[in-house]
Chain A
Amino acid sequence: MMRQGGRLVHLGTKALAVLAALLCSGFVWAGDVPDGNKLVRATVLSEYLTVVPGQSMHLGIRLEMEKGWHTYWKTSGESGLPVRVRFEEIEGVSFGELRWPAPDWHLGAGDVLDYIYEGTVVLLMPVTIDASATPGTSFDIRCKVDWLVCKELCVPGSAAAGCTIEVGVRSEAGADAPTIRAAREAIPKQLGGGSSSVRLAWRGAVLEVHCPGADGITLFLHDSEETAPLGPPTLRSVDGDRLRVPFDPPPDQYLIVSGVITVDRGRERASYDFALPGPTIR
């Protein structure tokens, strides 16, 4: 498989070096290729500078994209690659599951539908400090973030980022606490069964979304190997409070169709996580 088969030991780093050299040198003939590492700035923000033993809080992973460039949501859509955040394991700190705000809708030429982030986005990592942590000590938290960043072309990039959290007898919020709070607000809410603002129902193989009074609805679907919506245009309504999404093949009741719904009301955008079993089709 490898061109220089056999010398596997060196190939990982060598291949990386070759790729990096190619991407940074004159390999792409039509002008300079920007450095993917510099198109996104990744920083880790801590909600608290000082925590008490046993405390839970959020770390924010802030990505600031160069103007016009975008990275990808946890489901990238039809092209691209999701941002990946990997925290180094550290004794005394437990990490939860990364939380993502709703993405933007990006319908490229040829109807290539991607779910993207532009500008600045803050992902959240729930952390819990061990109850046995000792006041007066600190935790040095490190993570590696990698991404594919695209505009008219795509380039990979990565960064190492981190922060230090002190353990004390009293917790103390940091300057980034308001940013973390705002990021928490932007995380999609779980859609309850009795929600009156978003109604989801199957009509045969058509998923009907009704958000009374909404100005626009967008559905961001997670990948499924078993079924797919019939084309991007069915996934967004910009001037109505109903959306009808036909699926092909029809999902059965054992299949969960899931994703995020964003609902626009005036200038307000609310987002909801949903997971819905397929319809029973007789």
Chain B
Amino acid sequence: MGSFTKRLAAVAAIAFAGIWMGAAGDQHHSHSHAELGHQAPDFTLTDSNGKTHTLSEYTKSGKIVVLEWYNSGCPFVVRHHDQYNTMDDLYGEFSEQNVVFLAVNSTNENHRDYGLDVESIKKWSKRAPVLMDASGKVGAMFNAKTTPHMFVIDAKGTLAYTGAIDDDPRDDKSAESKTNYVRQALTELIASESVSIPKTKSYGCGVKYAR
């Protein structure tokens, strides 16, 4: 009996936490936290050129959106922008096919990696804009843990993929033998298929959130 009450309390606490987080996040969506197969939480952020981007405006106009958590001071991000051209290659391949690429930087203002966006975009000729999220609010909504951490939102606004950019965290595999999960998800979505691998474990540096 006692244990049942405790269990009930635990369930209630979790449910309450869910509702509370929901209220704190975004008022327009039932899911304020990104959840696979559900409507992605909406956000508006400004990029390093001062342009604002609203997720729902892209998806309302039928775009697929790729979010890439970004911090150019992280060696894993360096790997995919400099050692390889993983991110910009995807941009080149899919931006003409109704796919919008947005990088999001949730590095806090006091971190040594803060404020490197403009220079890194130039250095790497990065075509996707870098959205500034120094408060970490959008990072928390998507539960972004690493840089990079990838999210694909389909044209209906549903979160269709979350996880790693590829299956090669240690950079051991040849270009031919690695699977780029985002390329795979985009190819499937464009072919009106469901995403065969919707979730993987992202790898990289921890996002440098504000404390």
**In the bound complex, CA of A150 to CA of B18 (Å):** 32
Q: Using known A-B contacts A108-B206, A110-B106, A155-B75, determine if residue A30 contacts B112 with beta carbons closer than 8 Å.
A: yes
A1 touching B86, Cβ below 8 Å: yes
B79 touching A78, Cβ below 8 Å: no
Chain B residues within an 8 Å CB radius of A181: none
A18 touching B82, Cβ below 8 Å: yes
**In the bound complex, CA of A119 to CA of B200 (Å):** 31
**In the bound complex, CA of A15 to CA of B86 (Å):** 13
A29 touching B116, Cβ below 8 Å: yes
Count class of interface residues, chain A: 35 or more
**In the bound complex, CA of A109 to CA of B211 (Å):** 5
**In the bound complex, CA of A144 to CA of B152 (Å):** 37
A110 touching B139, Cβ below 8 Å: yes
Count class of interface residues, chain B: 35 or more
Q: Does B210 contact A (CB under 8 A)?
A: yes
Q: Using known A-B contacts A155-B75, A156-B75, determine if residue A1 contacts B85 with beta carbons closer than 8 Å.
A: yes
**In the bound complex, CA of A91 to CA of B14 (Å):** 56
Q: Does B157 contact A (CB under 8 A)?
A: no
Chain B proximity mask over A24-38: 1 for CB below 8 Å, otherwise 0: 000111110000000
A81 touching B203, Cβ below 8 Å: yes
Which parts of A36-62 form the interface with B (CB within 8 Å)? none
Shortest distance from the beta carbon of A30 to any chain B beta carbon, whole Å: 4
Q: Does A246 contact B (CB under 8 A)?
A: yes
**In the bound complex, CA of A225 to CA of B76 (Å):** 22
**In the bound complex, CA of A102 to CA of B89 (Å):** 40
B205 touching A150, Cβ below 8 Å: yes
B169 touching A81, Cβ below 8 Å: yes
Main secondary structure of the interface of B (DSSP, over half): loop
Shortest distance from the beta carbon of B169 to any chain A beta carbon, whole Å: 6
Shortest distance from the beta carbon of B7 to any chain A beta carbon, whole Å: 6
**In the bound complex, CA of A152 to CA of B7 (Å):** 39
Chain A residues within an 8 Å CB radius of B204: 79
**In the bound complex, CA of A19 to CA of B171 (Å):** 12
Q: Does A80 contact B (CB under 8 A)?
A: yes
B82 touching A19, Cβ below 8 Å: yes
From B116, B139, B205, B210, contact of A79 by CB (8 A): B205
A109 touching B146, Cβ below 8 Å: no
Shortest distance from the beta carbon of B144 to any chain A beta carbon, whole Å: 8
Q: Using known A-B contacts A1-B175, A22-B82, A108-B209, determine if residue A246 contacts B170 with beta carbons closer than 8 Å.
A: no
Q: List 29 A–B pairs whose Cβ atoms lie within 8 Å, in order of A's numbering.
A: A1-B84, A1-B85, A1-B89, A3-B84, A8-B175, A15-B83, A19-B75, A19-B79, A22-B78, A23-B78, A28-B73, A79-B203, A79-B205, A79-B206, A79-B207, A80-B206, A108-B206, A109-B208, A109-B209, A109-B210, A110-B139, A110-B209, A150-B205, A153-B73, A154-B206, A156-B75, A225-B199, A230-B14, A246-B10
Which residues from chain A sit less than 8 Å from chain B, CB to CB? Answer: 1-3, 8, 15, 18-19, 22-23, 27-31, 78-81, 84, 108-110, 112, 114, 148, 150, 152-156, 203-204, 206, 223, 225, 230, 244, 246
Which residues from chain B sit less than 8 Å from chain A, CB to CB? Answer: 3, 7, 10, 14, 73-76, 78-79, 82-86, 89, 106, 108, 111-116, 119, 136, 139-140, 145-146, 169-170, 175, 180, 199-201, 203-211
